[in-house]
Amino acid sequence: MDDRVLEIDGISKRYGQTVAVQDLSFEIHAGELFGFVGRNGAGKTTTMRVVLGVLAPDAGVVRWLGMPLTFEARRRIGYMPEERGLYPKMRVAEQLAYLGELHGMADGAAREAALGWLERFGLAERRDAELQALSLGNQQRVQLAAALVFGPDVLVLDEPFSGLDPVAVDVMAAVLRERAEAGVPVIFSSHELDLVERLCDRVGIIDHGRLVACGTVDELRAGGRERRWLDVPAAPDAWEPGVPGVRLLAAAGARRLFELDAGVDDQALLQAALATGPVREFERVEPSLGELFRTVIGEVAA
């Protein structure tokens, strides 16, 4: 297994009285797509800026290949900041090539890579246009190309999907997946939880500057509350299963959705249902990432 790991170890950062992130630790492995989710102002952007060295943390360290990140190593990170930014009056291909060279590429290779990525994003014929002449969606693609142009060792992308049309989302997702499969640790933040669930190998949920959950979506589900759909046509409308730790969430005709606290035996619920008569359906429902997210955040807020 590849041992190239980006470690975020105990990062804290405060702005005056405001705590932006507090003792944040997680790892991203080579070949892994890591989704970073949290509410606005939860500390995602601060964390990414610290990783990029754009912001100095008050405490903690970021390691790459087991060593604290040096400036040279940081130059090898592809970064897409939350606030998009490129030179509006500079030609697209020239701009990408310039950024490639700033990241240490030779001029010919930078030019070639710039054209290659523009081709990939369907912008080849706009290569000599000024950036400001492009639509916002296309500017966003150029922004991603700017993060990719020099063949980064690590990718850090802040909200790469915001403002993209569905086709562009697919292209972006495919590129991220491909980079991850090529062995690059990829971390990105997003509010599109369905997308994160579909795309990411692991997810970190951050709230009020603290990491409140981290793992694969399945791991996040384990230990959480489980849900069951039951179709009990003979049960009365006000039927209660009478099992401790089970709550009715929703009813649709004879179908009812129950939530079970962690550790509650679902067979007890089934027994109670069978006691009312026939049971046509007994289905285990996996909560979506969105539901998990709300649960986790809700617990912290409570």
Partner 1 sequence: MTAPSARPGASRHLPTIVLVARREVRMRLRSRVFVGGTIVMVALVVVGIVAASLLSGKTNPVRVGFSGGSQALERTFSASAAALGVKVTLSDVADVTAGKGQVTAGTLDVLVTGSATAPAAVAKASVAPNVESALSLAAEAARLSDAGLTPVAVRSAMALVPVELLAPTTPRDTQNLFASLALGILLWIALGQYGNLVAQGVVEEKATRIMEILLATIPPSRLLAGKVFGIGLVGLLQLTIVGAAALVAVHVTSVAAIPALGMASILADIVWFVLGFLFYATAYSAVASLVSRQEEVQSAVAPISILQIAGYLLMYAALPNPNGPLATVASLLPPFAPILMAVRMASSTVPLWQPVLAAALIVASIIGLTWLAGRIYANAALRLGTRVRFTDAFRG
Catalogue the E-assigned strands of the chain: 5-15, 18-29, 33-38, 59-64, 67-68, 77-80, 154-158, 186-189, 202-207, 210-215, 226-231, 246-252, 255-260, 281-285
What residues are paired with 250 via a beta bridge?
A: 257
| 33-to-80, 144, 164 alpha-carbon distances in Å | 15, 16, 19
Q: Toward partner 1, which CB reaches closer, 16 or 236?
A: 16
Q: Toward partner 1, which CB reaches closer, 159 or 197?
A: 159
Answer for the pair 55, 24: CB distance below 8 angstroms, yes or no. no
> How near is the Cβ of 28 to partner 1 at its closest, in Å?
15
What residues are paired with 226 via a beta bridge?
A: 260
> How near is the Cβ of 102 to partner 1 at its closest, in Å?
5
What residues are paired with 299 via a beta bridge?
A: none
> How near is the Cβ of 81 to partner 1 at its closest, in Å?
4
**Binding region for partner 1 (CB under 8 A):** 49, 52-55, 71, 74-75, 77, 79, 81, 83-90, 98-99, 101-113, 116-117, 146, 148-153, 179, 182-184
> How near is the Cβ of 72 to partner 1 at its closest, in Å?
11
Please name the residue that has the structure tokens 């081709």.
119
What residues are paired with 9 via a beta bridge?
A: 61
Q: Report the amino acid identity of residue 254.
A: A
Q: Toward partner 1, which CB reaches closer, 69 or 220?
A: 69
> How far, in Å, CA of 75 to CA of 66, rounded?
17
Q: Toward partner 1, which CB reaches closer, 102 or 133?
A: 102
> How near is the Cβ of 185 to partner 1 at its closest, in Å?
11
> How near is the Cβ of 115 to partner 1 at its closest, in Å?
9
